């Protein structure tokens, strides 16, 4: 059985695709023949290579809500990507296509529709992206992670399934990581995540409060590859060295490292991407969420406030990410055991442990139809 995966080249798109691919391989064994079609981003190449999934790349455009010459250039990339997709699918001729959305998915799904190849799409966010809203017309089935997303899709082919995540992000070993980092058992640990590429806004805010934060807590800080050197330098200027005194900075964490970090952490400070929220929820960790101010369709803010609405997380907008407010929020959560337990229970409701398996079953089913 041949399955094509497609979706935008960020960690938020790629990790669910990989989670579903793993389940398809488990169910089909050697019969599973999986191909990823993407935009050629470095993260796509790296993550798919780690999973031994072959890749093909096509041109894709992007709709910007501001004036840019790239809008003119991208207008011509879309048809190029469509014809590239037609050629790739003609040669590969899959039994089904599973799409996570993003602009690169548009030419692939349209080409699949031309060949009458069945398509399933998945929407991770509380408010669907432009690409998935458009592609829903060509999909046989639609999976969503938030009930609010269902308002934008035809009810008869839409199901609330949750976000597929990598199985490795749960059941980590906190003792082993604590010993590796020379952290103490007597201090609580804060895990800082800026998304798959890091967040300069979060990094700068954390570094400014590091001396005060480390008086009471230990910090694991994923900075992003591009920001790592700057964070280390700025932290050193503040008198803090990574690997000492309860502070550990790392540019990027693989699935095993992030699994153990979740297990050790008492609180997570993170962007509000759908995949990170699901991974936080899988580990039942209270969170302070900092949505990207300019995220497409404002989806990160909507994701974050969906959790805040039921008391599962606290939302801090970027302009409020200042010293006193941030420390006060950390103290507020970690200093009140009843609040901490309540947030832990409520955030778990955003985790659907069987999401990857349910999606994999659906993809296999439409492939056989």
Structure confidence by residue, pLDDT tens digits, 252-298:
888 889 999 999 999 999 999 888 899 999 999 999 999 988 765 68
Residue 64 has pLDDT above 90, yes or no: no
Residues 243 and 154: their CA atoms lie apart, in Å, by 51
State the average pLDDT over residues 93-121: 96
Residues 330 and 250: their CA atoms lie apart, in Å, by 21
State the average pLDDT over residues 73-79: 71
Domain annotation for the chain: domains and CATH numbers: 2-163+352-368 (3.40.50.2000), 168-350 (3.40.50.2000)
Residue 189 φ then ψ, to 5°: -115, 135
Helix (H) or strand (E) holding 121: strand 119-123
Which residues lie below 8 Å from residue 269, measured CB to CB, with a gap of 6+? 190, 191, 192, 193, 202, 206, 287, 288, 290, 330
Q: Can you give the pLDDT at residue 68? A: 59
Residues 115 and 2: their CA atoms lie apart, in Å, by 14
Residue 95 has pLDDT above 70, yes or no: yes
Residues 269 and 325: their CA atoms lie apart, in Å, by 13
Which residues lie below 8 Å from residue 217, measured CB to CB, with a gap of 6+? 187, 188, 189, 190, 246, 330, 334
From 209, 226, 215, 211, select the one nearest 269 (Cα to Cα): 209
Which residues lie below 8 Å from residue 218, measured CB to CB, with a gap of 6+? 181, 183, 184, 187, 188, 189, 190, 246, 247
pLDDT tens column, 220-248: 999 998 899 999 999 999 999 999 999 99
Q: Can you give the pLDDT at residue 194? A: 81
Burial of residue 268 (CB within 10 Å: 0-12, 13-18, 19+) is buried
pLDDT tens column, 41-56: 888 998 899 999 999 9
Least confident of 78-82, 135-139, 175-179, 346-350: 78-82
Q: Determine the 3-state secondary structure of 222 from DSSP.
A: strand
Residues 270 and 74: their CA atoms lie apart, in Å, by 31
Least confident of 74-88, 128-142, 312-326, 327-341: 74-88
Q: Can you give the pLDDT at residue 62? A: 62
Angle (nearest 5°) at CA 36 between 172 and 102: 85
Residue scoring higher pLDDT (73 or 96): 96
Q: Can you give the pLDDT at residue 290? A: 95
Q: Can you give the pLDDT at residue 275? A: 86
Percent of the chain with pLDDT over 70: 94
State the average pLDDT over residues 157-169: 89
Least confident of 20-34, 164-178, 179-193: 164-178
Residue 10 has pLDDT above 80, yes or no: no
Residue 195 has pLDDT above 80, yes or no: no
Q: Can you give the pLDDT at residue 368? A: 95
Q: Can you give the pLDDT at residue 323? A: 82
Sequence length of the chain is 369
H runs (alpha helix) in the chain: 11-28, 42-50, 69-92, 105-114, 130-135, 174-181, 200-216, 228-237, 255-264, 274-282, 299-308, 323-334, 337-347, 355-368
Q: Which residue matches tokens 């399934």?
A: 161
pLDDT tier for residue 83 given thresholds of 50, 70 and 90: very high
Q: Can you give the pLDDT at residue 364? A: 98
Q: Can you give the pLDDT at residue 73? A: 62
Q: Specify which residues 228 forms β-bridges with.
A: none
Residues 105 and 170: their CA atoms lie apart, in Å, by 29
Q: Can you give the pLDDT at residue 246? A: 97
Q: Determine the 3-state secondary structure of 271 from DSSP.
A: coil
pLDDT tier for residue 166 given thresholds of 50, 70 and 90: confident
Q: Can you give the pLDDT at residue 219? A: 98
State the average pLDDT over residues 127-135: 92
Residue 61 has pLDDT above 70, yes or no: no
Residues 106 and 130: their CA atoms lie apart, in Å, by 10
State the average pLDDT over residues 342-352: 95
Q: Can you give the pLDDT at residue 65? A: 54
Residue 313 has pLDDT above 80, yes or no: yes
Residues 199 and 16: their CA atoms lie apart, in Å, by 21
State the average pLDDT over residues 299-303: 90
Residue 11 has pLDDT above 90, yes or no: no
């Amino acid at each position: 059985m041949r399955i094509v995966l497609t979706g935008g080249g960020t960690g938020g798109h790629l990790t669910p695709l990989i989670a579903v691919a793993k389940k398809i391989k488990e169910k089909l064994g050697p019969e599973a023949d999986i191909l990823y079609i993407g935009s050629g981003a470095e993260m796509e190449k790296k993550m798919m290579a780690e999973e031994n999934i072959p890749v093909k790349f096509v041109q894709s455009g992007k709709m910007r809500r501001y004036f840019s010459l790239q809008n003119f250039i991208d207008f011509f990339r879309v048809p190029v990507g469509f014809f590239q997709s037609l050629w790739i699918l003609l040669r590969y001729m899959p039994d089904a296509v599973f799409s996570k959305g993003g602009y690169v998915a548009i030419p692939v799904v349209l080409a699949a529709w031309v060949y009458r190849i069945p398509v399933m799409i998945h929407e991770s966010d509380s408010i669907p992206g432009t690409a998935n809203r458009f592609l829903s017309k060509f999909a046989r089935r639609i999976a969503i992670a938030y009930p609010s997303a269902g308002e934008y899709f035809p009810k008869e082919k839409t199901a609330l399934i949750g976000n597929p995540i990598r199985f490795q992000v749960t059941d980590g070993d906190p003792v082993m990581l604590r010993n590796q980092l020379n952290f103490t058992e007597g201090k609580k640990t804060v895990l800082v995540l800026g998304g798959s590429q890091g967040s300069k806004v979060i990094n700068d805010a954390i570094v400014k409060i590091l001396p005060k934060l480390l008086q009471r807590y230990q910090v694991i800080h994923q900075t992003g590859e591009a920001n790592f050197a700057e964070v280390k330098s700025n932290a050193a200027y503040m008198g803090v060295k990574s690997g000492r005194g309860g502070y550990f900075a790392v540019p990027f964490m693989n699935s095993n490292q992030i699994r153990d970090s979740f297990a050790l952490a008492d609180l997570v400070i993170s962007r509000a991407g759908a995949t990170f929220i699901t991974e936080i929820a899988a580990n039942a960790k209270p969170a302070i969420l900092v949505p990207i101010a300019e995220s497409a369709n404002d989806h990160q803010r909507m994701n974050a406030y969906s959790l805040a609405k039921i008391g599962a997380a606290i939302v801090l907008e970027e302009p409020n990410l200042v010293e006193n407010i941030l420390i006060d929020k950390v103290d507020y959560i970690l200093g009140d055991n009843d609040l901490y337990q309540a947030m832990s229970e409520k955030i778990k409701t955003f985790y659907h442990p069987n999401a990857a398996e349910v999606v994999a079953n659906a993809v296999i089913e439409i492939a056989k139809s």
